[in-house]
Amino acid sequence: MTNLQAAENLNSNLFQISALETFRRNLENNGLDLTRANCTTLQINVGLLCNQSCKHCHLDAGPSKKEIMSEKTVDDVLDLAGRFTFETIDITGGAPEMNPHIQTLISKLAPLTKTLILRSNLTAIAEREQVLLLQLLAAKKVTIVASLPSLNETQSESQRGKNSFATSIMTLKKLNSLGYGLPDTGLELNLVSNPTGAFLPSSQEQTEKRFRKMLAQKWRLFFNNLYTFANVPLGRFLTWLENTGNLESYILKLAANFNSCTLDGLMCRSLISVSWDGYLFDCDFNQAINLYMDGKKKHISDLKSLPGPHDSIAVAEHCYTCTAGSGFT
Amino acid sequence: METYYHPKDLPKFAEISEGAPELAHKFFDYYTAVFAEGELTQREKSLIALAVAHAIQCPYCIDAYTQDCLEKGSNINEMTESIHVATAIRGGASLVHGVQMRNIAGKISL
């Protein structure tokens, strides 16, 4: 199943699992509609290069990847961010810190938006040459969203690789020392905890409470918010699900936990996602299967107006991830 | 029937209400209330359930509460420790009855 393609046919699902209703048909059966609201967020994937090869990565990012946003595409992104107004701009990867143009991007995007976010794996930023980047992030008051799946080293490293846990703790200490995650600094540090396997995430509220208590007790670490997200069955995580015989039960579990209340808050309703080479998607997950926004491969330089209320959203069966339980916003 | 236990039977649990709906209703309401967040967190309750599942050796419960513990954010070390608690109590319950043995043996022995 290496070349997944979202099917147009309502009866044919992405994963070829007979017991799985297609996502679109499931919406129809429930009398539901998933269309866009106002577009308020620009998400930029600056490349698939990463210092880690996390087992749950939906984009199969890793150290050998050559897909990195070029200076030309960075310019196109800056032009896009200048042409339209975005309340939030969200930079992701791979490890965004490894893109050679990341400092330019951050410096020039910061004045264009209320909230600029950098998604960090907490290890790429720990490299010695990243000291200037850390200072820049703090100076521009960039919100950091950092991965920390578990408070248990073994469990965390089963997802993110050897030695990643101690480095992550060290980076969190460094971020706290810069003022990140502390009251009244304006430097927001948010954590993301993905399940370390083929199961649903724990309750966000309860996990945040436990992480806050344990991180403070064990390491004197502080953060602002914690988000729990289910793993998306694409990329390297899909390969793992297939190889371990977990695919069918996992997808069916996601579908069985479909919660229509999540639809209103889905991120695909209010963001555009730009791939490393400058093409437009409804979300970062759709990039993994070349499921383009509005069904057409369109470059950001050709975008004349932002998608708006009632415009369509490209969906496939991986979308059950964002609608399971409390959802993914 | 190849085996008395089959994983696909677990989701059929709710069908038990077809026999005595009122009793099942009361049971499932109670069950839901027990596992709600209270003085104990849902994560702690799930770990207790996992331990009890091992004590009573219920394959359905072991399957369900292994997944539930992971989904509540527990890790394999915590889950293993909880099973040791069940094991200690089960083993201890046998051993402590040795007191009865000693009482009886003491009474009838010279």
User: pLDDT tens, B50-95?
Assistant: 999 999 999 999 999 999 999 999 999 999 999 999 999 999 999 9
In angstroms, the Cα distances linking A278 to A30, A72, A218 are 35, 9, 43
Domain-embedded: residue A31: no
Domain-embedded: residue B32: no
HSE at residue B83, side-chain half, CA atoms within 13 A, is 13
Domain-embedded: residue B24: no
CB-CB neighbors (< 8 A) of A154 in chain B: 75-77
Domain that holds residue A111: 38-232+265-314
Q: A151 vs chain B: nearest CA distance in angstroms?
A: 9
Q: A256 vs chain B: nearest CA distance in angstroms?
A: 11
CB-CB neighbors (< 8 A) of A197 in chain B: 70
Distance CA B80, CA A131 (A): 41
pLDDT higher than 90, residue A284:
yes
The per-residue pLDDT for A328 is 57
Q: Strands (DSSP E) along chain A, which ranges? A: 41-45, 86-92, 113-120, 143-147, 189-193, 225-228, 271-274, 280-281
Domain-embedded: residue B2: no
Our count of domains for chain B comes to: 1
Question: CB distance B75–A195 less than 8 Å?
Answer: no
pLDDT higher than 90, residue A127:
no
Domain-embedded: residue A10: no
Domain-embedded: residue A102: yes
CB-CB neighbors (< 8 A) of A203 in chain B: 42, 72
Domain-embedded: residue B77: yes
Domain-embedded: residue B7: no
Domain that holds residue B101: 41-108
Q: Which residue of A has its CA nearest to B71?
A: A202
Q: B72 vs chain A: nearest CA distance in angstroms?
A: 4
Distance CA A214, CA B6 (A): 39
pLDDT higher than 90, residue A1:
no
Domain-embedded: residue B91: yes
Distance CA A99, CA A140 (A): 18
pLDDT in tens, A208-247: 999 999 999 999 999 999 999 999 999 999 999 999 999 9
**Which residues touch A195 (CB under 8 Å, ≥6 apart)?**
A56, A149, A201, A202, A228, A230, A231, B70, B71
Q: Which residue of B has its CA nearest to A149?
A: B73
C-alpha Rg value of chain A to the nearest Å: 19
Say what the ipTM of the complex is: 0.70
In angstroms, the Cα distances linking A185 to A51, A216, A223 are 30, 18, 12
What would the mean pLDDT of A23-35 be, rounded to a whole number?
A: 95
pLDDT in tens, A170-210: 999 999 999 999 999 999 999 999 999 999 998 999 999 99
Q: Strands (DSSP E) along A136-292, which ranges? A: 143-147, 189-193, 225-228, 271-274, 280-281
Range among A10-19, A100-109, B2-11 with highest mean pLDDT value: A100-109
Q: Mutate which of B68, B75, B77 to disrupt the A interface (most A C-beta within 10 Å)?
A: B75
Distance CA A165, CA A154 (A): 8
Domain-embedded: residue B10: no
Task: List the CATH number of the domain containing B49.
Answer: 1.20.1290.10
The per-residue pLDDT for B82 is 98
Picking from A245, A184, A281, the residue whose alpha carbon sits closest to that of residue B7 is A245
Q: Is the dihedral of CA B43, B44, B50, B56 positive or negative?
A: negative
Distance CA A156, CA A149 (A): 6
| Cα angle value A214/A216/A222 (rounded, 5°) | 115
Domain-embedded: residue A255: no
Crossing angle (nearest 10°) for helices B59-71 and B42-55: 160
The per-residue pLDDT for A250 is 96
Question: CB distance A200–B71 less than 8 Å?
Answer: yes
pLDDT higher than 70, residue A12:
no
What would the mean pLDDT of A252-260 be, rounded to a whole number?
A: 95
Distance CA A89, CA A252 (A): 33
What would the mean pLDDT of A77-84 be, rounded to a whole number?
A: 97
pLDDT band at A326 (very low <50, low <70, confident <90, very high): confident
Domain-embedded: residue B31: no
Whole-model pTM? 0.87
Give the residue, B5 or A99, on which the prediction is more confident: A99
Domain-embedded: residue A253: no
Question: CB distance B71–A202 less than 8 Å?
Answer: yes
Distance CA A118, CA A102 (A): 10
Distance CA A285, CA A59 (A): 8
Domain-embedded: residue A15: no
Average pLDDT, whole number, for chain A? 94
Q: B23 vs chain A: nearest CA distance in angstroms?
A: 26
Question: CB distance A193–B73 less than 8 Å?
Answer: yes
pLDDT band at A327 (very low <50, low <70, confident <90, very high): low
What letter would DSSP give residue A126? G
Domain-embedded: residue A30: no
A-B contacts at Cβ under 8 angstroms? 37
HSE at residue A78, side-chain half, CA atoms within 13 A, is 18
Our count of domains for chain A comes to: 1
Task: List the CATH number of the domain containing A179.
Answer: 3.20.20.70
Q: Which residue of B has its CA nearest to A325?
A: B71
Say if CB A215 and CB A221 are below 8 A apart: yes
Domain-embedded: residue A297: yes
Question: CB distance A201–B71 less than 8 Å?
Answer: yes
pLDDT higher than 90, residue A64:
yes
pLDDT higher than 60, residue A10:
no
* Chain B residues interacting with chain A (CB cutoff of 8 angstroms): 37, 41-43, 67, 70-73, 75-78
